[in-house]
A = this chain, B = another copy of it.
Amino acid sequence: MDADKVFKALGDPTRRRLLDLLCERNGQTLGELCDNLDMARQSATQHLEILEAANLVSTVKRGREKLHFINPVPLHEVYERWVRKFESQRLSLLHDLKKELEGE
């Protein structure tokens, strides 16, 4: 997994919206996704390309349509490698702050 691509992909609200849309109904076409986006089709295409490069979305061609499927695996890996690590610090934050304010 390319963590940088995943984080960059998630860094844009339009792309998170796309993932949301696919979460509501998986396998939507480009056109269907565009209907919910308020931007030109080509702009949406570029966002979907970024999501695909990050492996967050997979596509399948069916006739002249392109179907989009969400892939949650990279998100889980991001969580495992990044979020959990920082969560374990949670309880110690206030303690650290206090110690520092007291001049250690």
Contact = CB atoms under 8 A, between A and B. Distances in A.
Interface residues of A, number: 41
A23 interface: yes
- Can you tell how many copies of this chain the complex includes? 2
Main secondary structure of the interface of A (DSSP, over half): helix
Given A76-B87, A86-B75, A67 B100 contact: yes
Given A86-B23, A101-B60, A93 B72 contact: yes
A73 B4 CA distance: 22
A16 to B, nearest CB: 7
A83 interface: yes
Given A27-B100, A62-B100, A86-B19, A93 B69 contact: yes
